[in-house]
Amino acid sequence: LQAAAALLHHDSLAPEQGASLLDSLDENAHKHAFGVSEDLKYALREAIEALGNEAVQQLREKAQASKQGFYTGKDAVDAGELSLECLRLVYRLLFMFYIEARPELGYVPIRKSEIYARGYSLESLRDLELTPLNTAAARDGFFFDATLRRLFSLIGQGCGAAAQQSVLAGSVKEAFALAPLDSKLFDPEATPLLNQVRFPNHVWQRIVRLMSLSKGKRNGHKSGRVSYQLLSINQLGAVY
């Protein structure tokens, strides 16, 4: 995670010149912009706990099916390592929320490529954060998981403008290029335990919702979108 911290340093990401973030704020009118608050820290804790609980359940079931030890023995799961991997996974999301909200950084083509915006982006899942999952197939399916794994792979490995990519039901030639991110944060080898887990839609939806919406204030204000566009480097570090 030290590599990720260096990557998120002001000298790496923040523009040296230009308009202030407040001046450049242009989120859709129907999305209420809320500054990042202390609530986000607690939301991340809940997200890590949700990932950990689901991972423990699935890994325990796999261990029982293969008659391996889970709590003790050479095959026992290291609770500390699992917690660290959950933290890395949540921090991947936090990083993606940030760079997609800051298109001026020029890293992801969130506003330049419809293919990226609809087929890969975290924002496309953010739009589903309040969609009711009324059926077992909707709750327990893996659309969120597949989309996020594809996104993380794209960020970690990059893609060329001429690379053939499978998007939705067909194969198309990508209209954007993305340089691979040289960071352990998106290295699959950094999450060996969680690579064995497929998180169902209801788990990911809850996590995206936790990281997307501010809590309603006691004075009666409704919850609204957390504006990652207003998140400074110092605030990002404080949340972490």
pLDDT tens-digit series, residues 155-180 = 998 886 444 444 443 444 446 778 88
CB atoms within 10 A of CB 82: 19
- Of 137, 139, 117, which Cα lies nearest the Cα of 127? 117
Q: Among positive and negative, which fits the CA dihedral 11, 16, 19, 24? A: negative
Q: φ, ψ for residue 207 (rounded to 5)?
A: -65, -45
Total domains in the fold of the chain:
1
CA Rg value for the chain: 19
How far from chain centre, in Å, is Cα 20? Answer: 25
pLDDT of residue 17: 57
Whether 66 is in a domain gets the answer yes
Residue 63 CB neighbour total at 10 angstroms: 17
CA-CA distance, 213 to 155, in Å (whole number)?
Answer: 24
Q: Considering the domain boundaries, does residue 15 fall inside one?
A: no
16 found inside a domain: no
Question: Closest by alpha carbon to 165, among 180, 156, 177, 148?
Answer: 177
What backbone phi and psi angles, to 5 degrees, belong to 62? Answer: -65, -40
- Look at residues 134, 133, 157 and name the one whose alpha carbon lies nearest to residue 144: 133
Flag whether 24 is in a domain.
no
Rounded to 5°, the CA angle 184-225-53 comes to 50
Assigned domain for 59 exists? yes
Q: For residue range 13-26, list pLDDT tens digits in order.
A: 445 555 443 344 33
Full domain range(s) for residue 225: 2-8+32-239
For residue range 134-156, list pLDDT tens digits in order: 999 999 999 999 999 999 999 99
Q: Is residue 14 part of a domain?
A: no
Rounded Cα distance, 98 and 126, in Å? 13
Residues 6+ apart with CB under 8 A from 91: 1, 4, 185, 240
CA distances (Å), 94 to each of 13, 90, 169, in order? 14, 6, 29
Residue 47 has pLDDT above 80, yes or no: yes
Let me know if residue 22 belongs to a domain.
no
When mean pLDDT is compared across 14-28, 29-43, 78-92, 129-143, the lowest value belongs to 14-28
Say if residues 119 and 143 touch (Cβ distance below 8 Å).
no
8 Å CB contact between 41 and 205 = no
Rounded Cα gap, residues 27 and 5, in angstroms: 27
